[in-house]
Amino acid sequence: MSTVRPGRVGPQRGVPVEIVRPEYAATGHPRHAGDPGPLDAATLARMRRACRAAAAVLAEIGPLVAPGVTTDSIDAATHAAYLARGGYPSTLNYHGFPKSLCTSVNEVVCHGIPDDRRLQEGDIVNLDVTVYLEGVHGDCSATYAVGRIDAESERLVRVTRECLDRGIAAVRPGRPIADIGRAIEPFAREHGYGVVRNYGGHGIGTAFHTGLHVPHHIEPRASTLMRPGMVFTIEPMLTMGTHETLEWPDGWTVVTADGRRSAQFEHTVLVTEAGVEILTR
Ligand code: MF3
Ligand code: CO
Ligand code: CO
């Protein structure tokens, strides 16, 4: 099972002047968003379109995953796919992030930077797509198998996908955000997996990350009640061993502390009167 090492990161890709940029695009510093609560109908309508675009980009780039393909070439395709829809790559210069996509291979938990590493048969890779369109962000991700993968990795990916589904099914107006982690962590642990705590889901809208944090583990302090019109992501990261993480010296790449594999899936969801609607479809 190969260990991931930092590769060479190419230059930032350009964005045509006619594409509308988020507030941090030039400076790298997002404004402090707070937790805006439920979105109004007009913002929600924009959110639906941005999220649908993010889902469409992910559907477009997923099939590019194959042995021998560099993560930077997937970044190039993703960048072009955002621009083709009139969108800006939300990650580009977000707190200085250098690329248009996050690519997290094997023991990389999240925030992997696309580089010149070629995907190898047996790897798993999460592609995390976020687009800024019509003044709002849409965010989703999925983990893909590179060629044939071992049964253990396949099980990790399958259980992680199911954890996302269970987290989404726990979304109900009037219930606390903590219900989401309560639906995810016991199920993950039954399968022998860890649930990453250092990173979680987040409120999203005109800001990429609002002040609302969505834990995927059991966290009774996540007492904010879900209300119709609230939009946030659910994006559980499961690990084969410890849930503890380390960060590479690049200041971005998050890896498992024990080097064992991790998988992740993400949707942006809307709390409705009836329950939940997945926006990144
Ligand atoms: N898309 C990631 C998330 O799900 C955030 C990536 S931020 C970056 O929240 F700066 F690392 F790109
Ligand atoms: Co994401
Ligand atoms: Co997210």
- Whole-model pTM above 0.85? yes
Whether 13 has a pLDDT exceeding 70, the answer reads yes
Q: Above 70 in pLDDT, residue 47?
A: yes
Confidence of residue 31 (pLDDT cuts 50, 70, 90): very high
Residue 40 alpha carbon to ligand 2 centre in Å: 23
What is the spatial distance between Cα 267 and Cα 47, in angstroms, rounded to a whole number?
13
Whole-number average pLDDT of the chain: 98
pLDDT single digits (tens) 114-132: 999 999 999 999 999 999 9
Specify burial of residue 73 (Cβ count, 10 A radius: 0-12, 13-18, 19+): middle
What sections of the chain are H helices per DSSP? Answer: 41-61, 71-84, 151-169, 178-190
Q: How far is CA 46 from CA 36, 134, 143, 187, 205, in A?
A: 16, 6, 27, 34, 9
Cβ of 123 closer than 6 Å to ligand 1, yes or no, is no
Strand-pair category, 262-264 with 237-239 = antiparallel
Q: 41 CB contacts (<8 Å, ≥6 apart)? A: none
Say which ligand is closest to the CA of 268.
Answer: 3
- Residue-level pLDDT at 1: 56
Q: Is 251's C-beta closer than 6 angstroms to any atom of ligand 1?
A: no
Calculate the alpha carbon distances from 104 to 110, 113, 115, 145 in Å: 5, 8, 11, 12
Quick one: CA torsion of 88, 94, 100, 105, rounded to 10 degrees?
A: -150
Residues whose beta carbons lie less than 5 angstroms from ion ligand 2: 128, 139, 141, 266
Helix pair 71-84, 41-61: axis angle to 10 deg? 140
Protein residue with least CA distance to atom 2, ligand 1: 128
pLDDT in tens, 50-73: 999 999 999 999 999 999 999 999
Give pLDDT, residue 63.
Answer: 98
- In percent, the amount of the chain with pLDDT more than 90 equals 99
User: Closest by alpha carbon to 102, among 124, 82, 126?
Assistant: 126
- Please answer whether residues 138 and 47 qualify as being in contact, where contact means their C-beta atoms are separated by less than 8 angstroms: yes
Strands 124-133 and 108-110: unpaired
Residue of 94, 97, 102, 253 to test ligand 1 pocket, by largest number of atoms within 8 Å of CB = 102
Q: Which two tokens stand for residue 17?
A: 């002047």
Half-sphere exposure at residue 188, Cβ-oriented, CA atoms within 13 angstroms: 34
**Would you say 235 and 265 are in contact if contact means Cβ atoms under 8 Å apart?**
yes
Q: Which two tokens stand for residue 177?
A: 């955000």
Residue-level pLDDT at 3 = 87
Closest to 22 measured CA to CA, from 100, 77, 75, 84: 100
Q: Is the pLDDT of residue 242 over 70?
A: yes
pLDDT value, residue 261: 98
Q: Is 91 in the pocket of ligand 1 (CB under 6 A)?
A: yes
Give me the count of residues in the chain.
Answer: 281
- Grouping H, G, I as helix, E, B as strand and the rest as coil, residue 220 is coil
Helices H / strands E in the chain, number of each: 4, 15
